[in-house]
Amino acid sequence: MKTSEYSSSKIHVASETASLKRLLIHSPDRGLGKVVPSKAQDWLFEDIVHLDTMRKSEYDYYVKLLLYFLDPEKIKGKLKKVDGDPTRSFYIPGTPGYFNSDRVIDIQQLLGEILEIENVRVKLTAAICGIEKCSYHTQEELHSFDPYELAKIFISGSYSDKRMLFAPLPNLIFMRDIGIVINDHILLNKPAKTARTRESILAQFVFFYHPMFAHIKHNILEIPDNDRHFLLPDDEKVSDHHKCTLEGGDVMMVSPNHLLIGCSERTSVYAAQQAMKLLFDKDILEKITLIKIPKKRDYMHIDTIFTQVKKNIWVLLSSLARVGDESRKKDVLHFFAPKENNQEFKILQFLKGHEQQPKEIENLEDLLADISRTDLHCEKDVKFIYSGNNEFPYGEREQWTDSCNLLAVKDGVVIGYDRNDKTLEAFKNEGFLIISAKDLIQKFENDELSPETLINTFITLPSAELSRARGGSHCMSMPILRE
């Protein structure tokens, strides 16, 4: 793909379920295979992963599925060849066999392309060496690499000869968190965790320097830090009133005029307010709802507790929603039931021009039903599918492995993990076809099914390794164009 071919690229997202047309992803890179047990948690993984299994038996299916839906020419008729290649060159940017799609786009490819521009390479190398505290000689050595190899080094933290230079970025596979497209604007993140700092520098350079985003350069939004934050004592810097962090998993574009922002372990109230001010001042939206959830590793972002499946269907965790079966059973099983954490839960809705009088919404279902009816003008009944089929203790168990973190490739067709049996049962009860990625891809290849005619389907992705990284298919995608 020539960089010039990207220049007419449209960037626009105004819903969570309209047909996906273009997105950014990142295939697990060699850095993930270098995580050691003592660092796994610091680097936000629940465990170390088996890289080969994660790629060949899990993530590669995600890529093939996305290609079938978004850019079928790149895959159709080639499945046998792709699956039979032990080097996986189809999935690796910069190699001759790479699928090179302008619709399913690996950020590593874009990084390689901007590193071909001399002054960008110099600046980015200096920036990375600065935060990673590299020596002058390392900086010089880095200049000698080919742009695509340099992109790999910046992401994986290691050279191809296996020498490690700095920490890997295992969480870059969760592309959702680096930024978010809001209509035709991009809001960049401010990561809460140091393990994700380098990711946002890479993202900043890609969005500001890649020709794909040149025509919307003035639409790239960065949240301002607290004025003179550097003068705050260290212990005050971490308080929610001063801290300025925001990650894409907490930002959801549910309709052209309405944005949801989660205030969570990762997104501070201060940053959410700054984002709101920026978006209202620039007239990008008229309604923003802040959803405050407990600051807990279990629910790091709002997209871990609910996502949209269809205009009128949502999947969510009942213990944070309206009283469901799950919470009623807690009275009986109170010894084992988790502590009630609803007190920390609050929803406030703000309208432009009336920011001082937010409306409080009592529970998640009321908010989501209102989005379906009022914002999306949906006349059908609004339905809620609960994690773990709302049966104790499966709701929490399956939420932990991303039962609520689904990616809609079109209205009613979602990708999620295969391991959440009870949640899948709940989808089945709602009339959804449950089909594995492997079977579906084969049926697409044999023309038994087609992405255009598919409706109400839950496509299951193998997830034994992926779920150890604590993110699902919603987090693994950054949509940049929906229909």
Ligand X SMILES: NC(=[NH2+])NCCC[C@H](N)C(=O)O
Give the footprint of ligand X on this chain (CB under 6 A): 44-45, 171, 174, 176-177, 249, 300-301, 303-304, 405, 469-471, 475
Nearer to ligand X, 171 or 327 (CB): 171
Nearer to ligand X, 268 or 304 (CB): 304
What string of H, E and C letters represents the secondary structure of 116-179?
CCHHHHHHHHHHHHHHHCCCHHHHHHHCCCCHHHHHHHHHHCECCCCCECCCCCHHHHCHHHHE
Nearest C-alpha neighbor of 51 from the set 173, 160, 196: 173
Minimum distance, C-beta of residue 202 to ligand X, in the bound complex (Å): 15
CA 391 to chain centre: 27
Nearer to ligand X, 462 or 471 (CB): 471
Minimum distance, C-beta of residue 193 to ligand X, in the bound complex (Å): 6
Q: What angle do CA 475, 476, 482 make, to 5 degrees?
A: 85
Minimum distance, C-beta of residue 99 to ligand X, in the bound complex (Å): 24
Nearer to ligand X, 44 or 220 (CB): 44
Minimum distance, C-beta of residue 98 to ligand X, in the bound complex (Å): 26
Minimum distance, C-beta of residue 358 to ligand X, in the bound complex (Å): 25
Question: For residues 163 and 157, what is the distance between their CA atoms, to the nearest angstrom?
Answer: 9
Nearer to ligand X, 120 or 475 (CB): 475
Nearest C-alpha neighbor of 365 from the set 346, 384, 338: 384
Q: Give the CB-nearest residue to ligand X.
A: 249
Q: What is the DSSP string of 435-455?
A: EEHHHHHHHHHTTSS-TTT--
Nearer to ligand X, 53 or 456 (CB): 53
Q: What is the DSSP string of 340-370?
A: P-GGG-EEEEEETT-TTSPEEE--HHHHHHH
Minimum distance, C-beta of residue 298 to ligand X, in the bound complex (Å): 11
Burial of 37 (0-12, 13-18, 19+ CB in 10 A): exposed
Nearer to ligand X, 12 or 474 (CB): 474
Minimum distance, C-beta of residue 173 to ligand X, in the bound complex (Å): 9
